[in-house]
Chains A and B, each alone.
Chain A
Amino acid sequence: MNAPLESPPVAAETRNTTCYMCACRCGIRVHLKNGEVRYIEGNPEHPLNRGVICAKGASGIMKQYSPARLTRPLRRKPGAERGAGEFEPIGWDEAFSMMEERLRRIRSTDPKKFALFTGRDQMQALTGMFARQFGTPNYAAHGGFCSVNMAAGMIYTIGGSFWEFGGPDLDRAKLFVMIGTAEDHHSNPLKIAISKFKRRGGRFISVNPVRTGYSAIADEWVPIRPGTDGALLLALTHEILNTGLYDRAFLARYSNAGYLVNVDPASPQQGTTVRSDGAPRGDNPDHRHDQLWWDRHSGSAVPNHTPGADPALLGEYRLADGTPVKPAFQLLLERVREYTPEWAEGVTGIPAARIRRLAHEMGITARDQRIELPIAWTDSWGQEHDTVTGNPVAFHAMRGLAAHSNGFQTVRSLAVLMSVLGTIDRPGGFRHKAPFPRAIPPMAKPPKGPEAVRPDTPLAGLALGWPAGPDDLSVDADGSPLRVDKAFSWEYPLAVHGMMHNVITNAWRGDPYRIDTLMIFMANMAWNSTMNTVEVRKMLNDRDEKGEYKIPFLIVCDAFQSEMTAFADLVLPDTTYLERHDVMSMLDRPISEFDGPVDSVRIPVLPPKGECKPFQEVLIELGTRLRLPAFVHQDGTRKYRDYPDFIVNFETEPGSGIGFLSGWRGRGGEKAMVGEPNPRQWEMYQKNNCVYHHVLPRSYQYMRNWNQGYHEWAQRTRLRRYTDPIVIQIYSEVLQKFRMAAEGRGPSQRRPPEHLRERLATYCDPLPFYYAPLEVQATDVAQYPFAAITQRPMAMYHSWDSQNAWLRQIHTHNYLFINEKTASSLGIADDDWIWVESMHGKVRCQCRVSEAVEPGTVWTWNAIGKARGAWALAPDANEAQRGFLLNHVIAEELPAAEGRRMSNSDPVTGQAGWYDVRVRIRKAGAGEPAETSPQFAPLPAAPGTAAVRKLWQAFVAGKGEFK
């Protein structure tokens, strides 16, 4: 620093790409010096992060140069146990031959014996396509244990959800209520938005058992007991309905609140909406849109949206044929009658007066601070509007609601609350992001039964889809699951993101069947991505009576040596995000903004390290070798040179003009959204900050569930096939179909097995309701009084960065946070070693007392603990010695009832209930070792990873020491 005015070391080169230090997908500028990464900064011209970057993104250098990088394909040493991490390097040719031979055999006999599960859910367009082409239904990403309740609960209600699908419009909101979110997937955009919102004087309320992260800067923190958010939301709805603070006009026109429901207990149609005898309306054969309103002007039943009619939302009426009917809203009012604030106080721990006040704040803000934008638009029923109205109350919620086995109904409750406040796709409320909103439910359907799976044939249907009723379930004639994870079965009918968390247990047990090969991409299923970790690790290494592994072949693709790679038979070294092409595709979960579709790409800034190969290339190579139709010409020859070539030239159908990327389509890049493949598409993305942003006309930016202009545009650009309105499902007709099947009636001929009928009828309630999470119901809460949850820290994304020399200094081990009074009542002080025990297991860890946690809750940072030697850390690294996983006390299954094992998951969506566990806490004995428990045998360094750990390092780009 003797002459700081001299120019800084100049980065020779700057390249744009997209971050992947978490799933947020910010635009980054990577500065290189002599081939080494000098500096990674946020790209100021990127619409998502507008120049900012987070702690993880700014530490990408240390991920790139981590000694834990895998650099060669590895085969488990003959005779070595799975989990011991003993490998020998092999070449890619051999690796591909092994996979090709094995997969070819499986595909030609029983394709479902191959299961592909990926931790990454932003590459599903390709991974899902590969699975479908292969012909296996056994495919999913990690959504089942992430936040599928959030996706399903909202999409089945309003046709969109949070994060990639939509979010709070904080630019215009006046009141922002965040529930169950600490740090988020949508990290930087949300941080930018919250900050602006607060600076504009917006009021920010956070509901969370713990006050960390975003909650820290909330104007009001509402501590709540975990798993009881549904009770709060329903009590808020109760208060809003009973004080008349709901947006009647919005509900009447844009939701099914006014749709009449048959309430004749004697009728086989009881619980269904009553429909007109006329012709269906709209162009969607699956949605007739012919439900009836009770027109309060004429006092008669009329088809919904009959011009001049206004539906009664409350009351009970009789149709001409004498059928007693009630508007759906009346049923909602009756449903929430028992959910008084006083009742909710007992469940949530939030005083009733406070719940009332929160409801009033929401209702009054929505009503009295209404926004009118001078934007003319036409709704789906042809009515022209001069303005777009907004009720400026915005919500955001994530895993705190989702990761409970009552999460689906809780999220439904939230979506209903947002709807009654009139905030859906309106300014200041919730806004969709293309390609959302989707039809309710979206059109994609899972395979309908065993006939969908045939040797050497692509799967009939998408591996993952959105059932609209029992007919869409993946079950056989007996009602047995088609999928190894039992998603889309009667047990978890709307498991729209699959149930990755049960794959290993189910395959090991052979229930519903055993598989041959399990391929895992980027998921630490032997550690933090699984529940019941100790047992799952045993299952992975377990053999049958013939001495064969119960899961015969395990392929793991990852960029780093981890707990999971140690169990693999074959390890494929993936590239880092700086070394790969990638697409954030409209076919998948793009990075769209409220004002229109946005997709983006990654373009490599560095060559792959060693023999690393992007997983995408592995899939395309395998697909080509296996001659999966999408990857080969008719004559069986290779169709795509590589992944970039595939991205440019792949079309969903020949000539469809729909491909992975929506920008710069057409021969010369002159078209958007739809158009012929453009051979220079990558270049054009590269020149444009790796992002394509299609800003919609203002009149298409709001009310998109019912916006005729938008729907026509979406149809032209093939985002949607149909243009029918997406009516908010206050009353879920889909759920009602499942309930009716359970009751032995209804249009579907399919009936659930006897033992599931009551469960299905209970939980597939067409109206939101509250119940204690299943795990809690099965727990003796006097024995296990505390809810134990995790929070994700802002500077560490799951287990992704313990190998990162900078980030691990911020989080190198973790504590269990306990409310100060709770701790002292247990005789536990700060730093004490304690045992945390659930019905399923126990961990020893250290206590950190806190005033920022609700007294009935204990929590820790997620996934900081590591197995000894994993991630190329020293065996005595803090992560292993003082870090711990809460996963050890959480089970993937509920206690067996009547001999049956059920997943510890939401009974509707199969979302893992990993925030449901109840624990007790006691002080560890004085003589016990000062280290966390359980501990595992140390993992050796894998061949190809750094052989020697540096005792110290000083990173200076450009010297060639880190290349």
Chain B
Amino acid sequence: MNPAFSVIFLTTLLGTGQGLFLALFVIEARVAAGLLEAPSAAFYPLGAAIVVLLLAAGLLASFFHLGHPERAWRAAAMWRTSWLSREVIVLPAFMAAAAAWGWAHWQGWPGTLLIGVAGAALCLLLFLCTAMIYACIKFLQEWATPLTLVNFVLLGCASGVTLAAALAALRGEPNVQELAAWAFAFTLSGLAARSASLWRNARLKPRSNLQTAIGIKHPRIVQKAQGFMGGSFNTREFFHGRAPGTLRSVKWLFIAGAFLLPLALLAGATAAGSPALLAAAFAVQYAGLVAERWFFFAQANHPQNLYYQAVS
């Protein structure tokens, strides 16, 4: 696929927001259970505001993906069949829940935990919807795997929790060590899961090939003309147009940026207790995740590309 930055930002911002919310909610829950020291009163509302901002930014980014953003409201129509439609419903619901949760905290209302439970459920549902948008396209074999969902969840949580840790550290809140440890754990498991998907995808055998694409059983088939020479939607949308080397570089870039460097920074930050290191860890990780998402799209080899290989 040809990675679109609108969708890259949509999914990464959403993931971070979702991870942040889950981090905040889990802190609240554990505080309620007496397992953690309570943060300052402003921490939850501020965190929730950032969650909503991230989600809103993601939503905004998604509008750039649309040919007709003014009709975006129509996208809720087909929730029975379309994961995209479901996402369109769940995303605002989750945003509302996160906002309500933050607002309730701000107002000091009781029942925030209950709202938090609903928010967390919606958050997980949103992960499911977002991931399934990609995982449900069965012929995009790189995506059609449970690992897509696992990665969306783990990477979203990693970046969100790292952000939570950085936020807590910057504000001098308690539980920074705890959060950093969680972030470390999510990043490490994210690395494991993403490595698993890389390993899997490197071994994928495309189910479609030129033989099935045009229905001719001959071992040697070469396209000579795709039917037009100046490109088309089909040549622009489904192929990144970059050399294989670029893809490899981006892969190592995101492995370093999304996982290795943040792990080091998180470890360093935990040891040194440095808010700056934590902030750096988040910044590096988010940038790394942008690269990861770019790679996620670029690596997906759409079978339609079999039809668009040559001009003459």
Contacts and interface: CB of A to CB of B under 8 A. Distances in A.
The reply, when asked whether chain A contacts chain B directly with Cβ atoms under 8 A, is yes
Interface of A: 809-815, 817, 848, 850-852, 878
Closest A-B pairs by Cβ, 9 of them: A812-B229, A848-B312, A809-B228, A815-B312, A812-B230, A809-B230, A810-B228, A813-B229, A850-B224
Interface in B58-103: none
Contacts of A810: 227-229
B249 to A, nearest CB: 23
7 contacts: A810-B228, A812-B229, A815-B312, A817-B312, A848-B312, A851-B220, A878-B229
Nearest to A810: B228
B216 interface: no
Given A809-B229, A814-B312, A878-B230, 5 more contacts: A809-B230, A810-B229, A848-B224, A851-B220, A852-B224
Nearest to A861: B312
Nearest to B227: A810
B interface, by DSSP: helix, strand, loop or mixed?
Answer: loop
B36 to A, nearest CB: 56
Contacts of B312: 814-815, 817, 848
B222 interface: yes
Interface string B199-236: 00000000000000000000010101001111000000
A62 to B, nearest CB: 14
A815 B227 CA distance: 15
B233 to A, nearest CB: 13
Contacts of B230: 809, 812, 878
Interface in B219-266: 220, 222, 224, 227-230
A811 B229 contact: yes
Nearest to A851: B222
B241 to A, nearest CB: 15
Nearest to A795: B227
A850 B224 CA distance: 8
Nearest to A812: B229
Contacts of B229: 809-813, 878
Contacts of B222: 851
Contacts of A850: 224
Contacts of A817: 312
B294 to A, nearest CB: 26
Nearest to B231: A809
A851 B222 CA distance: 9
Contacts of B220: 851
Nearest to A864: B229
A794 to B, nearest CB: 12
A810 B227 CA distance: 6
A810 B311 CA distance: 9
**Most chain A Cβ neighbours within 10 Å, of B220, B222, B227:** B222
A851 B228 CA distance: 21
B184 to A, nearest CB: 48
Contacts of B228: 809-810
Contacts of B224: 848, 850, 852
A457 B220 CA distance: 68
A250 to B, nearest CB: 43
A495 B179 CA distance: 94
B51 to A, nearest CB: 38
Contacts of A813: 229
**Most chain A Cβ neighbours within 10 Å, of B220, B222, B312:** B312
Contacts of A809: 228-230
A823 to B, nearest CB: 13
Contacts of B227: 810
A43 B230 CA distance: 32
Contacts of A815: 312
A559 B222 CA distance: 40
A814 B224 CA distance: 12
A251 B220 CA distance: 48
**Most chain A Cβ neighbours within 10 Å, of B220, B222, B228, B229:** B229
Nearest to A814: B312
B47 to A, nearest CB: 45
A590 B54 CA distance: 74
Interface string B163-203: 00000000000000000000000000000000000000000
Nearest to A846: B312
Contacts of A814: 312
A687 to B, nearest CB: 40
A810 B230 CA distance: 8
Interface string B271-312: 000000000000000000000000000000000000000001
A500 to B, nearest CB: 31
A848 B312 CA distance: 7
A830 B230 CA distance: 18
Contacts of A848: 224, 312
A848 B224 CA distance: 8
B230 to A, nearest CB: 6
A833 to B, nearest CB: 15
Nearest to B222: A851
Nearest to B225: A810
A811 B311 CA distance: 9
A810 B220 CA distance: 25
Nearest to A813: B229
A530 B222 CA distance: 35
A810 B229 CA distance: 6
A868 to B, nearest CB: 17
A809 B229 CA distance: 6
A539 to B, nearest CB: 33
A851 B219 CA distance: 14
Contacts of A878: 229-230
A811 B312 CA distance: 8
Nearest to A830: B310
A851 B229 CA distance: 21
B191 to A, nearest CB: 39
A623 to B, nearest CB: 45
A931 to B, nearest CB: 16
B74 to A, nearest CB: 12
B271 to A, nearest CB: 53
A814 B230 CA distance: 12
A810 B232 CA distance: 11
Nearest to B232: A809
A655 B230 CA distance: 58
A437 B230 CA distance: 47
Contacts of A811: 229
Contacts of A851: 220, 222
A815 B230 CA distance: 14
A795 to B, nearest CB: 10
A810 B312 CA distance: 9
Nearest to B228: A809
A851 B220 CA distance: 10
A690 B305 CA distance: 46
Nearest to A820: B222
A111 B222 CA distance: 58
B227 to A, nearest CB: 7
A878 B220 CA distance: 30
A809 B225 CA distance: 12
B129 to A, nearest CB: 27
A850 B227 CA distance: 17
B220 to A, nearest CB: 8
B276 to A, nearest CB: 49
A848 B309 CA distance: 13
A850 B228 CA distance: 18
B21 to A, nearest CB: 39
Contacts of A812: 229-230
A817 B224 CA distance: 10
A319 to B, nearest CB: 62
Nearest to A849: B222
A817 B225 CA distance: 12
A153 to B, nearest CB: 33
A882 to B, nearest CB: 9
A643 B235 CA distance: 50
Nearest to A815: B312
**Most chain B Cβ neighbours within 10 Å, of A809, A852, A878:** A809
B130 to A, nearest CB: 30
A809 B231 CA distance: 9
